[in-house]
Amino acid sequence: MKKTISKLGRIFGLTFLLLIIIGNLFIILSGRYYLYDGIAKTYLRGESGPGIYDLDLFAKTNIQPQKAHFYWKTHPKKNSYGWKPDEIAYHENWGTTAFLVIHKDSILCEKYWGEHNENTVSNSFSASKTILALLVGIALDEGKIKSLDEPVGNYIPEFKMLGRQKITIRHLLQMASGLDWEESGSNPISEAAEGYFTSDLHALVTRQLVVEEPGKHFNYQSGNSQLIGILLAKATKMTLSQYMETRLWKPIGASASAYWSMDQENGIEKSFCCFYATARDYALLGRLLLNKGKWGDKQLISSKFMDELIATPPLKMDEGTPNQRYGLHTWTYLNNGNPVHYFRGFRGQYILTIPKDNLIIVRLGMKREENFEIPDTYKNDANFLKQNQEKIGHSPDVFNYITYGYSIFNKLK
């Protein structure tokens, strides 16, 4: 028996060693050295992938707040809503860490889970993409960018060749660049995974090739957003964080420092993700979107650009339905005539704005549901398609958070 166990142990040990050797050979021969960093910052820490508290794992910038910050009002009945057991269970099941509901600048609900509190900063993931769009609007207003229809090659020399000279800033914002980027949160050898762990983002995004005509097909790619970050730095002659601090973070009266992860010390920001802020300060960005770029008596971003931000251009969608959900790096859920415009992150980071009722809902957390799709059994059901077409491409948890927000609003208004 002991000999059998010993033999099995040797076989297991040799197999494990062989796997390590094969894995190292793959990394070395493929040049995917970022995988070493990815393994160290996930699996060796007991994590299965990127998390919302990864701030100290990477180099970062510090985006300073304004000394005189914006004060949210507190509703007299704040937090008096009686959560139902199934609502609490839903939040806990999907790892919610913060949930805020704000009406006319008054906080109706502010609830946190675990060790997360009003001073905790957490990862925006792709919610930062809408921040980029807002910064593009400011750069456009300032004349730093001449037009959304300018070629990207005007700012990034690598895009003056190989068919990439046709790609415009608008194409990047619409997620219609036609580049060969794989967007996957689970595939460790996808460009999205490499983008999170690489130490050379510029090289990653400028090696992408055109595989389809730009401006025709919606294909969500974080590489487009990273290119926008690089472009903004070139156009403004400032780092992305400096531009964010001076043009947005301080003007909206953020109460705490924000941070942006970088690919390396003295490198560039991971503009496609990885902006860190508190839940209340995320709500300020929602307020700016809700008020169409106006802050007090000052128009920080032109209303014309803000209207374009939420318009949904006619693009080919994989589902064969009209584009009803994506504008310029900004999500729109038509919601049966009560549109919701929002920022969205990989693990269910949502800043939801509902103009009709002057509502802002912020939800931060660890995970989200998969995007809604029409089930195969209903793809030929005209009535079902008509009733559910607006939901396509949105995560069903968004619908629940809107419902919870309205339950709180209707009880406390």
Query: In this predicted model, what pLDDT tens digit does every residue of 105-154 receive, in sequence order?
Result: 999 999 999 999 999 999 999 999 999 999 999 999 999 999 999 999 99
Taking phi first (over 0 means left), then psi (-120 to 50 degrees means alpha), and beta for anything else, what does residue 322 get?
A: beta
Q: What is the pLDDT of residues 174-229, one digit of tens each?
A: 999 999 999 976 677 789 989 999 999 999 999 999 999 999 999 999 999 999 99
Q: Where are the domains of the chain?
A: 78-260+282-412
CATH architecture observed for domain 78-260+282-412: 3-Layer(aba) Sandwich (3.40)
Q: What is the mean pLDDT of residues 237-263?
A: 98
Q: Residue 1 above 60 pLDDT?
A: no
Task: Output the pTM of the full model.
Answer: 0.93
Averaged pLDDT score across all residues of the chain: 92
User: What residues contact 393, with CB distance under 8 A and at least 6 apart?
Assistant: 317, 319, 325, 326, 371, 372
Contact in structure between 259 and 270 (CB atoms under 8 Å) = no
Cα atoms in the 13 Å half-sphere on the side-chain side of 240: 33
pLDDT score for 39: 77
- C-alpha to C-alpha distance for 260 and 63, rounded to whole angstroms: 8
Q: Say whether pLDDT at 90 is over 70.
A: yes
Length of the chain: 413
Say if CB 401 and CB 350 are below 8 A apart: yes
User: Using H for helix, E for strand and C for coil, what is the string for the chain?
Assistant: CHHHHHHHHHHHHHHHHHHHHHHHHHHHHHCCCHHHHHHHHCHHHCCCCCCCCCHHHCCEEEECCCCCCCCCEECCCCCCCCCCHHHHHHHHHCCEEEEEEEECCEEEEEEECCCCCCCCCEECHHHHHHHHHHHHHHHHHCCCCCCCCCEHHHCCHHHHCCCHHHCEHHHHHCCCCCECCCCCCCCCCCHHHHHHHCCCHHHHHHCCCECCCCCCECCCCHHHHHHHHHHHHHHHCCCHHHHHHHHHHCCCCCCCCEEEEECCCCCCECCCCCEEECHHHHHHHHHHHHCCCEECCEECCCHHHHHHHHCCCCCECCCCCCCCCECCCCEEECHHHCCEEEEECCCCCEEEEEHHHCEEEEEEECCCCCCCCCCHHHCCCHHHHHHHHHHCCCCHHHHHHHHHHHHHHHHHC
Q: Which amino acid is located at 103 in the chain?
A: H
- pLDDT score, position 13: 59
Statement: residue 6 has pLDDT above 80: no
